[in-house]
Amino acid sequence: MTVLVAEPQLHGEKDPLPSLQARLACRAGMASTTAGIANGFVQGNLAILPEKLAASFHRFCQLNPKPCPIIGMSDVGDPRIPSLGIDLDIRTDVPRYRVWRDGEVADEPTDIMAHWRDDLVAFVLGCSFSFEEALMADDLPIRHIERKVRVPMYRTNIACHPSGPFAGPMVVSMRPFKPADAIRAVQITSRFPSVHGAPVHLGHPHSIGIKDIAKPDYGDPVPVEADEIPVFWACGVTPQAVIAAAKLPFAITHAPGLMLVTDLRNKQLAVL
């Protein structure tokens, strides 16, 4: 687990951090995408599991750090994750949740006060928003952002290393780039291993089991031009797909695109 500590969450009483503002908005009922919210701050994927499955899931993340990079986790039954925000309450601070029962989405509430239990453990996993910020800071164009759609995501034939009931294929996100930009994107994202890091594949979609690049399994399609290369990163949807496939009696995740906004800074995640 990446050991990082959030900076103090307040500049001053009248000037809360944008990340805290986002969480306060969530507590007040905001239930829209966090894309573009609190720029500069790390957003995370969420997985909440009963203690008896948490060890297996933790090991699954350990074995599959590219799709499942842990940036924070709670103590058993404790809804706080102070390393990601001193005030943070995982039961209220995500815009919308998914409550899973037997592998199906049973509910999509805006808080999980009614679902919280003393045996639950929350895992927060890195998210591609962080590395997209670094790519854009280097003037690399990101197709799905330009087009204001969701990133296209695909189930692959790359098997995750299984752990207990957690098993299944890696899900990847795809961003098309001209070749020189693809090389630069490899360099930039390599600096951010805790938010998926370097790509896992480029070119040749068939090699990783993607039959039709125009038909993503999640998100929206974007065109790949004739002089571009599709570049594939391990995706934070992987744990959600694995949780669904495991048909667990009970689990909670965030709703896709509606992430936990933390007080960590994206720039803190750079290893170089």
Q: Which residues bind a copy of itself (CB under 8 A)?
A: 178-180, 182-183, 186-187, 190, 198-204, 207, 227, 229, 272
CB-nearer residue toward a copy of itself: 30 or 183: 183
Nearer of residues 210 and 258 to a copy of itself, judged by Cβ: 210
In sequence order, what DSSP letters do the residues of 108-153 get, joined into one string? --S--TTT--TTEEEEEEE-HHHHHHHHHHTT---HHHHTTSPPPE
Beta carbon of residue 226, minimum distance to a copy of itself (angstroms, whole number): 8
With left for phi above 0 and alpha for psi between -120 and 50, is residue 38 left, alpha or beta? left
Whichever of 107 and 225 has its CB closer to a copy of itself, that residue is 225
Which is closer to a copy of itself, CB of 32 or CB of 207?
A: 207
Q: How far apart are the first and last CA of the chain?
A: 18
CB of 204 to a copy of itself, least distance (A): 6
> Whole-number minimum distance, CB 46 to a copy of itself, in Å?
28
Q: How far is the CB of 195 from a copy of itself (least distance, A)?
A: 16
Amino acid at 38: A
